Amino acid sequence: MVDTLIEGGEVVTAQGRSDADVAVTDGVIDRVGSELGDIAAEERIDATGRLVMPGAIDPHVHVEWPDWDYDVGARHGGRAAVAGGVTSVINFLIGPPGELRSNYEAFRAAMEEHFLGDFSFHAAVFTMEQVRQVPAFVEEEGITSFKLFLPYRGEEVVEPLVGIDDGIVYELLEEVAAIDDEYGAKALVHPENVEPSFEIKDEMRNAGAEGDSVNTWNEVRPDFLEADAINRLMLFADETGAPVHFVHMSSEKGMRAFQRNQSRTRAEVTAEIQVQHLTEDAREHGMLAKMNPPFRTSAEHDALWEGLRRDDLAFVSSDHAPCTTEHKDNIWDATVGIPNLQTWFPLFVTTALDDGAMSLPRVVEKTSYAPAEHYGLTPRKGGLWPGADADVIVVDPEERTEVRATETLDQSDFTPFEGREFVFPEVTMSRGDVVYANGEVLGEEGRAEFLSRPNP
């Protein structure tokens, strides 16, 4: 007798696709096979005509951005995640300059209390004090990834944070290199050389440049600044030996800079992309879509899809940052960030199905298997092998749902994808519990688990 049998569907994992049933017991995958129909099960889920896939893992999330209480972020983020097929997230932990731990406990407690899937953190580092705490933090908390916000300098700095400089960058990479062998530690880098863009912005603003299209922001922060930061950080990676992961790629120039240098860098260098940079054109979006790096134009898409298919881009993510219209008065001063936790996976899977841009097993690889591998969550997450957490989604590839901000479950009041039609999951299961089904959130708060890394 198993707890749940998901029967009659087509199972899609990074390893392939087949008509099979999925048996779940005690929150983990018991077995996957073509002739399980006869076994006794407490619950049965009919997946006839549906795809059955591992839940999506979103490794780039800011549920509390820009100014929500952790409780609010965790609660709304948890609901948006399961409605979008996301069963695990890694959220950024951005604390005041002094130390790494000050906000960690409160944020972790809020996630444990309110989030509906599982979670971990990446810790942002801005000061030498924080750099020095990295080894102990890795060892005691199981958080092995550290974020360098390269553009956080000059006028970009938002109090109480302090700006970063290249000395901190260098010292963090040295620290990460020293503990990498034991823990699989990584430095995460937002690659943009921001200083020229301060001048470009002033010039454009003074010249009265048009401010309602988000393409203006694309022009403020041009692609070559991304390529410049990638070139330089590749050199830092080579020099220190630290694994460096670029968390945002948005342009062909950036992609080429990465590809030119990757084989010449002695350290492991990897990259990811947000789905919106593969699909959206800034000229078709208003200033609510302001984020960094900016929405670019469709001229970049071919090179980025090619990078994804070649695995130069290891996986995709959302950069969910649930601003509201109140945070976005005008293009120049608007807070950066878009709500996307509920929509990134549906946008990606829908694009793959409609454009044939990527096969379904590769979609699963890019949204579940690869991020799990990269961040030390395998074998618990990332697939449907026996013993894996039963994080499973059931998707009807024929059914489209219109995206409406009034119906998305995060705390934002807009979505850049208003009116678009995406494939959403019908059922989302987390560790064997159905947490979302047919438009309704069923998961109860208090069930989220912190994912210590690397996962044994």
Within 8 A by CB and 6+ apart from 335, the residues are: 66, 290, 323, 327, 328
Q: Which DSSP letter does residue 77 get?
A: H
**Residue (252 or 319) nearer to Zn ion, CB:** 319
- Owner of token pair 């620290």: 175
Stretch that binds Zn ion, among 104-112, 157-165, 316-324, 374-382 (CB under 5 A): 316-324
Q: Least distance in Å: CB of 412 to Zn ion?
A: 15
Q: Which residues are CB-contacts of 74 (< 8 A; sequence separation ≥ 6)?
A: 63, 64, 110, 111, 113, 114, 115, 448
Other Cβ atoms less than 10 A from the Cβ of 417: the count is 26
Nearer to Zn ion, 192 or 389 (CB): 192
Rounded to an integer, what distance in angstroms lies between the CA atom of residue 271 and that of residue 27?
32
**SS3 track for 356-371:** CCCCHHHHHHHHHHHH
Count of residues that interact with Zn ion, criterion CB under 5 A? 1
CB nearer to Zn ion: give 89 or 138.
89
Q: Least separation, in Å, of the C-beta of 263 and Zn ion? A: 27
CB of 319 to Zn ion, least distance (A): 4
Q: Which residues 6+ apart lie within 8 Å of 181 measured at CB? A: none
Segment lying near Zn ion (by CB under 5 A), choices 294-302, 318-326, 366-374, 398-406: 318-326
Neighbours of 91 (CB within 10 A): 26
Indicate the residue among 272 and 319 with the shorter CB distance to Zn ion: 319
Look at the block and give the residue holding tokens 């990606």.
348
Of 13-21, 144-152, 157-165, 312-320, the segment contacting Zn ion by CB under 5 A is: 312-320
Compute the least distance from the CB of residue 66 to Zn ion, in Å: 11
Tokens representing residue 109 in the block: 């407690």
Least distance to Zn ion, CB of residue 321, Å: 6
CB atoms within 10 A of CB 193: 19
Applying CB under 5 A, among 312, 319, 389, 410 the residue interacting with Zn ion is 319
Nearer CB in complex with Zn ion: 60/76 = 60
For the bound state, the minimum distance from the C-beta of residue 320 to Zn ion, rounded and expressed in Å, comes to 8
Residue nearest to Zn ion (CB): 319
Polymer length of the chain: 456
How far apart are alpha carbons 255 and 426 in whole angstroms? 35
**Given the DSSP bridges, would you call strands 51-54 and 2-13 parallel, antiparallel or unpaired?**
parallel
Nearer to Zn ion, 304 or 392 (CB): 304
Least Cβ distance, residue 276 to Zn ion (angstroms): 12
Region binding Zn ion by CB under 5 A among candidate stretches 47-55, 82-90, 265-273, 319-327: 319-327
Per CB under 5 A, which region of 170-178, 315-323, 382-390, 446-454 contacts Zn ion? 315-323
Residues that bind Zn ion (CB under 5 A): 319
